[in-house]
């Protein structure tokens, strides 16, 4: 069994300057102020757009992220309906080919915690029964019935910037599940580094 940490990967982020130029043009159409576009004007314009809550303008640019999470967290991710998703399929992926399943390490238990040890024992049991079912002739879509919520899955999500901001505000909240919060905070920090104008107003409250 392979125990791995959750992760998040930016796939096709265009870069702040490219995004701001496009968003400024789209937003200025609303005010017929395209003649005011100048060097450096995009940042001020977009900051004001966000401050005023005119975030429909932000829907004109999308980007894609790959989440490596467990199946439980993936169910929360795909609830964000103004987005497109592609997800690793337990119907078609035969984990017996690798002679192991991969599971996501729970971020809320240390490895010397009895709860972690019980979790690990449960994962090993699920792996054993899955492999046994495959060996006895079950198809992957049949054998998946014994796979746990902790099973590693990969989810590719494409959404516009307005929806990403909505996602990050919800999923970095202390009220969010610890495992989705784990990847959401990591993604937010990446985006704040790459495009602070678009994401630096989203704060994270430490728990």
Confirm whether 171 is a catalytic residue: yes
Asked if 190 and 8 count as a contact pair (C-beta separation under 8 A), the reply is yes
Q: How many residues does the chain have?
A: 207
111 C-beta neighbours (distance < 10 Å), count: 9
Catalytic residue among 28, 144, 171, 181: 171
Residue 188 makes CB contacts below 8 A (sequence gap 6+) with 168, 172, 199, 202, 204
* R_g of the chain computed on alpha carbons: 21
Burial 171-183 (b: 16+ CB within 10 A, else e): bbeeebeebbbbb
Burial bucket for residue 66 (CB in 10 Å: 0-12, 13-18, 19+): middle
Measure CA of the first residue to CA of the last residue in the chain; give whole Å: 31
Catalytic residues: 171
């Amino acid at each position: 069994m392979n125990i791995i940490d959750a992760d998040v990967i930016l796939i096709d982020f265009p870069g702040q300057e490219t995004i701001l130029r496009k968003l400024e043009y789209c937003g200025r159409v609303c005010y017929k102020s395209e003649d005011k576009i100048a060097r450096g004007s995009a940042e001020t314009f977009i900051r004001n757009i966000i401050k005023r809550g005119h975030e429909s303008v932000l829907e004109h640019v999308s980007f894609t992220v790959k989440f490596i999470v467990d199946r439980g967290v993936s169910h929360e991710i795909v609830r964000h309906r103004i987005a497109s998703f592609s997800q690793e399929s337990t119907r078609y992926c035969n984990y017996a080919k690798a002679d192991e399943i991969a599971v996501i390490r729970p971020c809320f238990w240390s490895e010397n915690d009895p709860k972690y040890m019980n979790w690990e024992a449960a994962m090993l049991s699920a792996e054993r029964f899955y492999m046994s079912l495959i060996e006895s002739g079950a198809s992957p879509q049949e054998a998946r019935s014994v796979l746990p919520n902790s099973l590693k899955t990969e989810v590719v999500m494409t959404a516009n910037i307005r929806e990403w901001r909505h996602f990050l505000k919800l999923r970095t909240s202390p009220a969010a599940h610890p495992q989705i919060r784990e990847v959401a905070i990591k993604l937010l920090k990446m985006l704040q580094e790459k495009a602070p104008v678009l994401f630096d107003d989203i704060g994270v409250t430490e728990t």
